A = this chain, B = another copy of it.
Amino acid sequence: MLRQHEVAERIKQYILQNRLGPGDPLPTEAELCAAVGASRSSVREAIKTLTALDIVEVRHGHGTYVGRLSLAALVESLTFRGLLSRSDDFRVLSELVQVRQTIEQGLAGPILAAFDDGLHGELLDLADQMAERAARGESFIEQDREFHLLLMEPLGNELITQLTAAFWDVHAIVAHTLDTTPESVRETVEAHHAIVAALSAGDVTAFTQAVEAHYAPVRRRLQEGPGH
């Protein structure tokens, strides 16, 4: 296993030394073996490890590329932890809600500073779609995800965008088994409209309160415990 780890490290060094970036092709397997001084089987195994971390991406029939270096591995690991601890008072979900709320509220200043008419239109449209879908008893998971990503996008901080997406995905998977009531769904939809209104008014306090209200239904549900 040390050997496998070492070969993976050498491939990473190769990527760095050759100044390759996400999406750039890696050399052929034979060339890579020569470059890192390892056997085909060792290189193949190392490639698999690096694929799990999204450092390398294998496109079948095309070749091997530098990966997107996304936080896919974080999602994988957190989701699994969430599923494992499902009996443990929704521990991962509680933790996730605190992190999501802290980041959204903590970035109120920069979010408000970056807010403009274009973003207002897009967020309002998504909140309206959520309300319509909820009224028809449909899920609005896509719109919800898009809304939270759009909030962060103007900050231009790729790490925050990736963390937001990762946390949202894990939240959606882990919360999947949670019961919702028509009341809590209505509350969630209203909170999104309240977030848009607060942004539009340039009101930090109202924004902070709307984010708090957004997580209130899931917080209540978590306090009831898994038995309910």
Give the interface of A toward B (CB within 8 A): 1, 4, 12, 15-16, 19, 21-22, 45, 48-55, 58, 60, 69-71, 73-74, 76-78, 80-81, 83-84, 87, 91-92, 94-96, 98-99, 102-103, 105-107, 155, 157-160, 163
B84 contacts A77, C-beta separation under 8 Å: no
Partner of A73, one of B53, B96, B155: B53
B158 contacts A15, C-beta separation under 8 Å: no
Contacts of A1 in B (CB 8 A): 51, 58, 60
CA distance A83 to B13 in the complex (A): 10
Task: Report, nearest first, the 9 A-B pairs whose CB atoms are least far apart.
Answer: A106-B106, A73-B73, A95-B159, A102-B106, A52-B52, A49-B52, A69-B81, A74-B74, A95-B157
Contacts of A106 in B (CB 8 A): 102-103, 105-106
CA distance A29 to B12 in the complex (A): 30
CB distance from A204 to the nearest CB of B (A): 13
CA distance A153 to B81 in the complex (A): 19
CA distance A155 to B69 in the complex (A): 30
A71 contacts B77, C-beta separation under 8 Å: yes
CB distance from A39 to the nearest CB of B (A): 16
